[in-house]
Structure 1
């Protein structure tokens, strides 16, 4: 299965007023391969889903957060896991809408937790978690287990 076939476009739910705004608690997921196309697929999925939920004002920040989390999952979460038998070379992306807040999460098969490091002004990388921290209301990760972990962040209309 390719990342493109794993995408299930989020369709807005009808609420009590009969409008096409997404109902609170709407959830969408996307399985992504750990290759170079994953970031573009994740950004498209995020943009399409949030626009379908009438949350276009959050798209830029959530897309950036998802891109950073996905980059970390591919760079650090798939390292070593690629060689383990029975371990799929996949990461997962989930978006959950609760009222005016979106929770985004990226899962990977690694049990290594994210480590915030002091950013080097001259380094080309190492600022992703700082960026996630500055653009989100909160962020963290699930306790790692044999299946891996998920890194998550919440973004509210008030934060966007």
Structure 2
């Protein structure tokens, strides 16, 4: 699994029947993860990606929860009413899920406290995705991404 920063890529989105993109802005409140799950489910169903809907929805939910909990906590910029962004990129049978937040802290995969109610989100992302990582933080924040393919579903 990829658990390191991704190098910025300069590419054009390939056009064709196997490539689609959708994005939405999300609030930083308790409803963000639910809204992200609903957006992901409806978008992937519309695209006919039924085999990845469940895994992608869980991955997106975990990424959004972390963005609200940690990404907004350490944000140094003024927050708008839509401080988080979710992007879905379909390429053939894989979906790249990306959550952008204004925070500069990077995700850290830690040994979970098995008696705690939280702290396993990155482990869930790691187990349900082919690879995951993050962009290097800058003054605008960072993006955390995960690649979910139909082969893993």
**Do these two structures clear the TM 0.5 threshold for a shared fold by scoring above it?**
yes
CA displacement, residues 84-141 of structure 1 (integer Å, 9 cap, x when unaligned): 5633251100000000000000000011100111011101111000010000000000
- Is the Cα–Cα contact under 8 Å of residues 74 and 105 in structure 2 kept in the other structure? no
Partners of 2:33 and 2:141 in 1: CA distance = 20
The TM-score, its normalising length taken from structure 2, stands at: 0.86
Moved over 6 A (4+): none
Choose which of 70, 84, 88 in structure 1 pairs with 2:80.
88
Question: Which whole-Å deviations, capped at 9, do the CAs of 1:3-58 have from their partners, x for residues lacking one?
Answer: xxxxxxxxxxxx7xxxxxxx222000010000122122111100010001100111
Write the distance in 2 (CA, Å) between the matches of 1:65 and 1:85. 26
1:28 to 22, 33, 37: 22
Root-mean-square deviation over aligned CA pairs:
1.3
**Matched length:** 137
Structure with higher RCO (Cα < 8 A, 6+ apart): 2
TM-score, normalising length: structure 1: 0.82
Larger-Rg structure = 1
Structure 1 range deviating more: 33-42 or 59-68: 33-42
Distance 1:38 1:86 in 2: 19
Unaligned runs of 5+ in 1: 1-14, 16-22
